[in-house]
Structure 1
Amino acid sequence: MENPAESFFGGMLIEICIACVLYGITTLQTFIYFQKYQNDTSSLKLMVAGIWVLETCHTAFCMQLIYAYLITHFGEMTYFLDINWGVGATVVTEVIISTAVQAFYVKRVWIMSNKAKLLTSFIAFITVCRVAFGIGSTILSYHIPHWVAFRANEASLVTVSGGLGAAALVDVLVALTLSFYLTRGRNSWQKSSNSKVNLIMLYAVNSGAITASASILSVILYATQAHSLVFLGLVEIQGKLYANSFLGSLNARSHIRNKANAAQYPSFEFSSNSNGFRGVAPPVPKVEVYQETIVTNDMGEQENEFSLKSMKGSELV
């Protein structure tokens, strides 16, 4: 007889292991941030610390979820039909993390668009809808105790699909908006800034594409894989992707700045000290030629004597 745990929980187990690896990357990026950007504002530092704390709680809830299904209720095949309380805990923490990161990107849109109220309000409204759908999914996970009834409920289909779809839409709109305003403003900026703009655009598009693809794939798996929790495991990974995207955008600032400056000033070496950079002249080859005088004494023996006078190249014979 086929083991039901393999088809029901196998994919999610692997995905949570991947999520734990991404949590390690989040921790490393948090450490790098506090080491390199000590002059950032207190509010930004507090947000970074809050994201890391939420990621830690989210990882702990994921581990509890695995432990409950595979260890605590080991051998109880019917327990796979029940919705553990850790499911709602992981969903709500993932919603908080993703919303905080998206709000950070919406603020960037607000600045780049020269405070365009209509555009920013529209993206902010979709973000609020994503929060509402996420909270609705969390409440339904505690109100409906079994997976079969949860999947059959139309309200759960709306909240899950709506929440993931809204998250994907926000990611796409943010990436497209930032790319549009960066491209439009590039003509009015100095040519030396073009390399920086290209790197920022590339990073914004890639980050939005990754998180949006995860959201869309989760909706597809929720609709097609009715007897598996693989969609939920992808949702757990998505929260880690948002955190790493946020921290990566902060830690990439010095890399983008130094790379662009190095391309503009190739004869200088940039350093992280207070002077900004220091000039490094190319090494100049130096050739010294010494004149050798042969001296013969009365006994007919030769004695070598070197004069330490340096000769110029024109004196070579």
Structure 2
Amino acid sequence: MSVYSTQAPTLGNTLGAVFLGMAISCILFGVSTLQVYFYFHYYPTDGRLHKLSVGFLWLLDATHLSLTIYSTYHYGVLGFGNVDGLQDIIWAIKLHTAINVIIVLMVQSLYAYRVWLLSGYHHGVLGYLVAAAVLGGFAIGIVLAYETCTISVWSDTASISWAVQASFAASTAIDIVISVAMCYYLRKSKGAELRLNSRISTLMQYTLSCGVFTSACSLACLFTFILMPNNLIFLALTYLLTRLYVNSFTAMMNARQRAPRPEDTETFMMSNQVFTYGSPPRSIPDPERHRSRDHKFDWVDVPAPSRSLSNASASTVHAPELHKAEYAYTRHW
């Protein structure tokens, strides 16, 4: 018995699936837009690389959604009743595929960059493995974008099925490799400080969650493309895949500890004033105000064991100086 679906294409599993994918994509785009707003609002001191990456990803995501809406409108409204016209692959679908490849590879490259830095701290080889996997995925993505531009009707997708399947499989494998490598190095970065270990555990949870969601969606795209070749359910899932990649990266950036802003500090000081009738206002002591901000570790400042001090020389250094030197070189993230 064949495992392939022999169901004929209908209005529900073609235009209906694409419409539902577009609707859910609009919701996820709203979530990613809110994440981008929070990022620029709460992390104004981030480096130029992170700001440009988040802004460029949002622009690509908005363009991708615009192409999704246009293609759905073209097939569902402009092409209503034109059965022959529904067989054509319009330019928006081809450009949509290219932007999808760019977004996925860009997010994976940003994750791979962090794995590369952690690999350098620990003198590991996983950084080279992740870099090779991302470069391989980049090559497959270019081939997929080129092959998509060579076909003109949906029935021709069978001729480039190898490129589509390779792209989905590579995306799943890269997500798994990056998640495993990141969690491995983060676990090696744990030390004796409980607050630091708690922050690292949070990063590991976010990394695993993002890897699971994106990998599951990539596998769903792969299985629906192979098992249901007569409908467009796989295309609707690709709409969601792009949104999940953007949301995973922006959520990871917003999962860090937020630095206090001047207006927030002033507002907090005003709210801490206690007014008593007949006496001047007094302030409630705030232990967080006196806590040092030098020990903030987050997604950008991931700690790693220091090798700058030997065991012999460490005993001659005072405790505060030892702690400062132990994590000094991780601040350039």
TM-score interval, normalised by the smaller of the two chains:
0.7 to 0.9
Local SS of the residue matching 1:254: coil
Picking from 136, 141, 147, the partner of 1:129 is 136
Task: Report which of the two has the higher share of strand.
Answer: 1
In structure 1, C-alpha distance between the alignment counterparts of 2:186 and 2:124, rounded to whole Å: 18
In structure 2, C-alpha distance between the alignment counterparts of 1:203 and 1:3, rounded to whole Å: 39
User: Per-residue displacement from partner, 1:159-218 (whole Å, max 9, x unpaired)?
Assistant: 1111111111111111111111222232x3412322112111111001001001111110
Local SS of the residue matching 2:257: helix
Picking from 209, 229, 244, the partner of 2:232 is 229
Q: Does 1:73 align with 2:79?
A: yes
The aligned amino acid for 1:197 is: I
1:273 is matched with which residue? 265
Shift, 1:117, TM fit: 6.9
Q: Does 1:171 align with 2:175?
A: yes
Picking from 183, 206, 214, the partner of 1:203 is 206
* Pairs aligned (count): 262
Local SS of the residue matching 1:25: helix
The aligned amino acid for 1:159 is: A
1:265 is matched with which residue? none
In structure 1, C-alpha distance between the alignment counterparts of 2:109 and 2:215, rounded to whole Å: 15
Q: Which 5+ residue runs of structure 2 have no aligned equivalent? A: 1-7, 270-284, 289-333
Decide whether the 8 Å contact of 1:133 with 1:160 is kept in 2.
no
Counting only pairs closer than 5 Å after superposition, residues 56-205 of structure 1 correspond to structure 2 as 56-114=62-120, 116=123, 118-151=125-158, 153=159, 156-186=160-190, 188-205=191-208
Decide whether the 8 Å contact of 1:91 with 1:134 is kept in 2.
no
Shift, 1:3, TM fit: 8.8
Q: Does 1:247 align with 2:250?
A: yes
Shift, 1:75, TM fit: 0.5
What TM-score, normalized by structure 1, do the two folds share?
0.76
Decide whether the 8 Å contact of 1:9 with 1:228 is kept in 2.
no
Q: Which 5+ residue runs of structure 1 have no aligned equivalent? A: 259-270, 281-317
The aligned amino acid for 1:26 is: S
The aligned amino acid for 2:187 is: T
Decide whether the 8 Å contact of 2:119 with 2:125 is kept in 1.
no
Decide whether the 8 Å contact of 1:90 with 1:236 is kept in 2.
no
1:296 is matched with which residue? none
Decide whether the 8 Å contact of 1:99 with 1:131 is kept in 2.
yes
Local SS of the residue matching 2:15: helix
The aligned amino acid for 1:42 is: R
Decide whether the 8 Å contact of 1:130 with 1:164 is kept in 2.
no
Mark the CA change 1:213 to 1:36 in structure 2 (over 3 Å): closer, same or farther: same
User: Per-residue displacement from partner, 1:276-316 (whole Å, max 9, x unpaired)?
Assistant: 99239xxxxxxxxxxxxxxxxxxxxxxxxxxxxxxxxxxxx
Which range moved further: 47-56 or 74-83?
A: 74-83
| Identity level (%) | 25
Is the radius of gyration larger for structure 1 or structure 2?
Answer: 1
More contact order relative to length (CA 8 Å, sep ≥ 6): 2
The aligned amino acid for 1:149 is: D
